[in-house]
């Protein structure tokens, strides 16, 4: 049985919920009140997650406390299709890892600006937003040229990977932190595609997507 120690408003926790959902895994949730209760600083939680990070995943005898580590573990352990983390393809493994790194950079910029706005975290919000825009510019350029090459996802595969799940939350929620996506049209189209992944679950602050195009009957 999988257990997720979860906080609804955390984008790292949302990454884990997305991965569990698209992999079709059953799990139980334990709510950890990050705000205002600061439950992640309690003794019982620190024992689970020494760096007091959310989310924490427990599966049988394994306990993991880092969002990207949890995605890698879930895909490696529970994805029979082998597409979410294509372990046999060294290029794709490299690309996935590179984008997992970008998701952390987004968490400390777009994510930090969002925590500043919504939960009152103290941060240099101007610098955080500027950094987020730099990352989004890079992401938009990558995705735009991807479209030109017939690629829909972050990695050079014809299917989504955990990279898309890791990068999506802080991008899709950026406007809550005052980071508009108006100048990143390719990023906006990619978020539509992520919302159409089979098993996608929305969260508060995010609307579900519409369905993909159907033929026009006349």
Partner 1 sequence: MTRTQPGLPGRAWHPVASSADVVLRHVFQGRLLGRELAVWRADDGYVNVWENRCLHRGVRLSIAVNDGRELKCQYHGWRYSNRTAECTYIPAHPADAPARTICNRTFPVVERHGLVWTTLEHDRPEDLPVLPERGSQLPLRAVTVAAPAADVVGALRSYDADDDLRLASESDLLLRFDGASGPGLTLLVQPSDATTCVVRGVLHGVDEADPDVSRLTLLRLHNRALNRLRARVESEVGPLEPGNDEPELELVPEELAELPPATRPGRSASLRVRVERKWSAGVDVAGFALAPLTGHLPVAQPGAHVDVHLPNGCVRQYSVVNAPGEDDRYVLGVKREPESRGGSACLHDTVREGDVLALSEPRNNFPLRRDAEHTLLVAGGIGVTPLLAMAQTLAHHGLDHELHYFAQTEDHLAFHDRLAALGDSVRRHCGLDVAATTARLREILAGHAPGRQVYLCGPGPMIEAAREIAAECGWPVEKVHFEYFQNGQEIDKDSSFEVDLARSCLTVQVPPGQTILEAVREAGVTMPSSCEQGACGTCIARVIEGEPVHQDVYLNEAEKASGEAIMTCVSRSASPRLVLDL
Instruction: Pick between residue 77 and residue 189 the one whose CB is nearest to partner 1.
Output: 189
Residue 136: beta bridge partners?
none
Closest CA to 113 of 177, 180, 179, 167: 177
How many CB atoms within 10 Å of residue 177? 22
* Residue ranges in contact with partner 1 by CB under 8 A: 141, 144-145, 147-149, 181-183, 185, 188-189, 192, 207, 209-218
Q: Give the integer Cα–Cα distance in Å for 168 and 186.
A: 13
Q: Give the integer Cα–Cα distance in Å for 138 and 131.
A: 11
First to last CA, the chain: 51
Instruction: Pick between residue 33 and residue 192 the one whose CB is nearest to partner 1.
Output: 192
Instruction: Pick between residue 85 and residue 154 the one whose CB is nearest to partner 1.
Output: 154
Taking the complex as a whole, the smallest distance from the CB of residue 180 to partner 1 amounts, in Å, to 8
Taking the complex as a whole, the smallest distance from the CB of residue 40 to partner 1 amounts, in Å, to 31
Taking the complex as a whole, the smallest distance from the CB of residue 174 to partner 1 amounts, in Å, to 13
For 4, 91, 151, 193, 194, the CA distances from 156, given in Å and listed in that order, are 30, 9, 7, 15, 15
Instruction: Pick between residue 121 and residue 193 the one whose CB is nearest to partner 1.
Output: 193
Taking the complex as a whole, the smallest distance from the CB of residue 33 to partner 1 amounts, in Å, to 28
């Amino acid at each position: 049985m999988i257990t997720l120690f979860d906080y609804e408003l955390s984008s790292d926790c949302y990454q884990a919920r997305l991965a569990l959902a698209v992999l079709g895994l059953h799990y139980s949730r334990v709510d950890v009140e990050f705000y205002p209760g600061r439950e992640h600083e309690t003794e019982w939680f620190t024992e689970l997650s020494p760096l007091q990070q959310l989310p924490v995943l427990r599966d049988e005898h394994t306990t993991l406390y880092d969002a990207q580590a949890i995605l890698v573990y879930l895909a490696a352990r529970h994805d029979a299709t082998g597409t979410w983390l294509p372990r046999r393809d060294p290029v794709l493994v490299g690309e996935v890892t590179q984008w997992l790194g970008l998701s952390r950079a987004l968490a400390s910029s777009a994510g930090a600006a969002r925590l500043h706005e919504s939960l009152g975290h103290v941060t240099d919000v101007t610098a955080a937003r500027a950094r987020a825009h730099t990352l989004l510019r890079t992401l938009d350029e990558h995705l735009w040229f991807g479209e030109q090459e017939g690629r829909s996802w972050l990695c050079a595969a014809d299917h989504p990977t955990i990279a898309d799940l890791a990068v999506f939350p802080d991008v899709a929620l950026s406007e809550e932190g005052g980071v508009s996506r108006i100048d990143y049209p390719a990023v906006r189209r990619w978020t539509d595609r992520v919302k159409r992944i089979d098993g996608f679950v929305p969260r508060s602050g995010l609307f579900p997507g519409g369905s993909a195009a159907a033929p026009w009957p006349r």
